[in-house]
Amino acid sequence: MNPYPCLMRSFVRIRPLAALSVAAVAALLLAGCSSSSSPDASASPSGSAADLCASAAPAGAASKAVTVSGAEGAPATATFTTPLDVSSVSSIERSVITEGPTKLTTGQFVSYAYSVFNATTGENLATVGYTPGEILPQQVSAASGGQLFGCEGAGSRITAVAPATESTPAVVYVIDVLSVVPTSAWGTAQPAVAGQPTVALAADGAPTITLPGTAAPTSTEVTVLKKGDGATVGSGDKVLVQYTGVKWSDGTVFDSTWQKGGVPTSFTTTGVVAGFQKALEGQTVGSQVLVTMPPADGYGEKSASNTNALAGETLVFVVDILGTQRATAAATQ
């Protein structure tokens, strides 16, 4: 069930990265074999590194037999005697090649990339994530990603071996943990725009929106508060965001990720109301945007057939864009 229903035109099941390709199976394993793509509010960053360290798959003869070359943070080459002996591999085997300077803790989000190799032939089956916008940041917990990431932080490189399934051969992964992704926008502050609502940020990045006391605008207005340096969000892309929404009529908050544990959520840009879509598409990851939308781009005018609680309301959102995955990347994985 979508935990943030207010934004949605209708419930849209976000397709997980998994499909029928080996690359997709790898992505599913990295995401913890979960059928849901939404981050887990219960996995807030309050656990310890030890929680994740304990969840990591153990090393084994197969994972230790793989030699990896290439710089961390760039596509790697895995070398091993083919076919790799996986006869003793009943689950994931995992070895840490390079340890980053810090450890992950439960609930953090990571940017990562990986290459997948056929354990029988040595063929490189896929290399994904080294180009921005290919993979959405992954929230890591013991139940989601911990088996492969463990507690290895940014700068770490991991190799893992997985046995064959009914639809895929045994495979070797080389996984790079690229960075820990902040849970609030990190872009450069932009000049204020006169007449727009003002935004004050708490220490953790949670926004408080103050309305200007003027008449509501009659068309959707988007203002960039912070300009990020990441990939550009396109139509139909999946995004990872934090947001707070208030009603222009009285300034009350009607929905906010910050008030639901402060954990970002994810959805596609085409699965939300038009005004929110306009706020996202064309923006860059790391940005914070302010959007004011009249009913026409929100939930429509109130009527006998439209009894939505937000019908007839002009809405104001502050949105932190923390990650994007291109629609084309999601469709092919």
pLDDT (0 to 100) of residue 25: 55
Helix (H) or strand (E) holding 328: helix 327-332
Are residues 176 and 123 part of one domain? yes
Render the burial of 212-232: b for 16+ CB within 10 Å, e for the rest.
eeeebeeebbbbbbbbbebbb
Are residues 68 and 37 part of one domain? yes
Which DSSP string do the residues of 231-291 spell out, in sequence order? PBP-TT-EEEEEEEEEETTT--EEEESTTTTS--EEEEGGGB-HHHHHHHTT-BTT-EEEE
Are residues 197 and 175 part of one domain? no
Sequence-distant (≥ 6) Cβ neighbours of residue 308 within 8 angstroms: 299, 300, 302
Domain boundary residue, one of 181, 213, 233: 181
Domain boundary residue, one of 152, 181, 210: 181
- Please calculate the CA angle 4-287-39 and round it to the nearest 5 degrees: 35
- The count of domains in the chain is 2
Rounded Cα gap, residues 152 and 158, in angstroms: 8
Rounded Cα gap, residues 79 and 84, in angstroms: 10
Are residues 162 and 22 part of one domain? yes
Helix (H) or strand (E) holding 52: helix 49-55
Are residues 16 and 164 part of one domain? yes
Between 329 and 176, where is the model more confident? Answer: 176
Instruction: Outline where DSSP puts E strands in the chain.
Output: 67-69, 77-79, 93-98, 109-118, 124-128, 138-139, 157-162, 171-181, 188-189, 198-201, 207-210, 221-227, 238-247, 253-256, 265-268, 288-293, 315-325
Are residues 137 and 260 part of one domain? no
Kindly report, residue by residue over 250-264, the tens digit of the pLDDT: 999 999 999 999 999
Quote the pTM value: 0.88
Are residues 48 and 129 part of one domain? yes
| Whether 318 contacts 243, CB under 8 Å | yes
Rounded Cα gap, residues 73 and 177, in angstroms: 8
Q: Tokens for 73, please give them.
A: 């943070």
| Whether 117 contacts 78, CB under 8 Å | yes
Residue 100 scores a pLDDT above 80: yes
Q: Which structural domain, as residue segments, surrounds residue 37?
A: 5-181
Q: What is the mean pLDDT of the chain?
A: 88
pLDDT (0 to 100) of residue 17: 27
Q: What count of other Cβ atoms lies within 10 Å of the Cβ of residue 237?
A: 23
Rounded Cα gap, residues 223 and 210, in angstroms: 15
Domain boundary residue, one of 181, 208, 238: 181
Are residues 162 and 272 part of one domain? no
| Whether 173 contacts 159, CB under 8 Å | yes
Are residues 255 and 197 part of one domain? yes
Between 324 and 21, where is the model more confident? Answer: 324
Report which listed range, 46-60, 164-178, 237-251, is most confident. 237-251
Kindly report, residue by residue over 178-204, the tens digit of the pLDDT: 999 999 999 999 999 999 999 999 999
Are residues 174 and 114 part of one domain? yes
Kindly report, residue by residue over 301-311, the tens digit of the pLDDT: 999 999 999 99
Are residues 199 and 167 part of one domain? no
Are residues 219 and 134 part of one domain? no
Q: What is the CATH number of the domain that holds 319?
A: 3.10.50.40
